[in-house]
Amino acid sequence: MFSLYPYQHQACADIDTAFEQHDAVVLCMPTGSGKTVTFASFIHSAMQRGLRCMVLCHRSELIRQAVGKLNELG
């Protein structure tokens, strides 16, 4: 598991809370804030709970980056 900063932990908690009220949630964070690490950690946690996740990106290099981080988590 990655070591997340407190604001990244809070983002994951906020996503969990948002899913209690909505079917789809968007994570929006500034450049350099660790979006890939944050959502990879969230997805890892969700999959351990038996949930399915989908990541959408508009650039193939972003997909490669995301796949790399998700592979690091297994």
pLDDT digits (tens, 9 = 90+) for 10-29: 999 999 999 999 998 888 99
Q: 27 and 35 in contact (C-beta within 8 Å)?
A: yes
What is the reported pLDDT for 13? Answer: 95
Neighbours of 38 (CB within 10 A): 23
- From CA 50, how far away is CA 47, in angstroms rounded? 5
Q: 4 and 37 in contact (C-beta within 8 Å)?
A: yes
- From CA 13, how far away is CA 42, in angstroms rounded? 9
What pTM value is reported for the model? 0.78
